[in-house]
Amino acid sequence: MTIRTATAPDAWGVWYASDPKQTPWERYLDEVAASGYSWTELGPWGYLPTDPAQLQNVLSSRGLGLCGAAVVHPLTAPDALETLRDRLRPLCRTLVATNTPWLLLMDDSDAYLTPEARIATPEIWKRMMHVITTVAREIRHEHGLHLLFHPHVGTAVETEAEILRLLNDTPADQVELCFDFGHHAYTGADALAFMRQHASRIPYYHFKNLDGAIHARAMAAGTPFMEVFQNGVMCELDKGILDFTEVVDFLRKQDFDGFVVVEQDMYPCPPDKPLPIARHNRDVLKRLGL
């Protein structure tokens, strides 16, 4: 068993390739190393250097490795397959050059103007499953990469029922999950129970906790999820409703070999806010034996 701990630009409030509200990428990498992590996700394409040689250099000079890369794309759009293929070509080349096997795919919540609009019709759902499965097969065949689907609040694959439907409608040997505890808990579902039941389909985890009080107030008020995220609903690993001692105990019993990536969904945030939180979360993982 080897559980590798990582973090991601998201934990520094980075959601976009370029945004004046975000920490510069050089500072991000410096602070990842300073907080005690050895691995990072790539973040939005264009945030970190896109040239593979330069990327490898800026990572290795700080003692860091790349564990995965996430792509957010409007998967229910009629032209989703073609536009996604175009976006993935340079990213796949970079992942291969840096020996990074995991590509995380998420639907784009910005594609839906209302919560109701995210509910896919049977025809749209079938087309989306075709996009996901086709891309998974192509990146495996052409680049040797593995596709992880990341369910996300505010998208066409948000609820536990939708995640189970996706698992049923995609091939298990091609499409696996990046399981995000915080997003799963946000929908009101039991994230630990889901993990235990579907661990065979989850080779990669996003560790994220949920502030129960902020969440309850937001649900009662019907606050849009983006505003709830900006209000701090995703909190430090030891300050939310999820017990990561149980999570790590389960992973050990399963002899899990892979990555757990700490995120916190806190865009935008002051530049001095992320590092103390990152150090705290890394200390929590150390106390859990990771």
The enclosing domain of 120 has a CATH number of 3.20.20.150
What domain range includes position 276?
2-288
Confidence label for 65 from pLDDT (cuts 50, 70 and 90): very high
Using CA of residue 183, residue 188, residue 192, residue 196, what is the dihedral sign?
A: negative
**Strands 209-210 and 234-235, how do they pair?**
antiparallel
Give this prediction's pTM.
0.97
Q: Is the pLDDT of residue 277 over 80?
A: yes
Instruction: Quote the CA–CA distance of 182 and 11 in Å, as a whole number.
Output: 13
Q: 108-133 pLDDT, tens per residue?
A: 999 999 999 999 999 999 999 999 99
Encoded tokens for 93 = 């080349």
Cα gap 141→30, rounded to integer Å: 35
Examine the pLDDT at 1 and tell me if it is beyond 90. Answer: no
Whether pLDDT at 61 is above 90: yes
Q: Structural domain tally of the chain?
A: 1
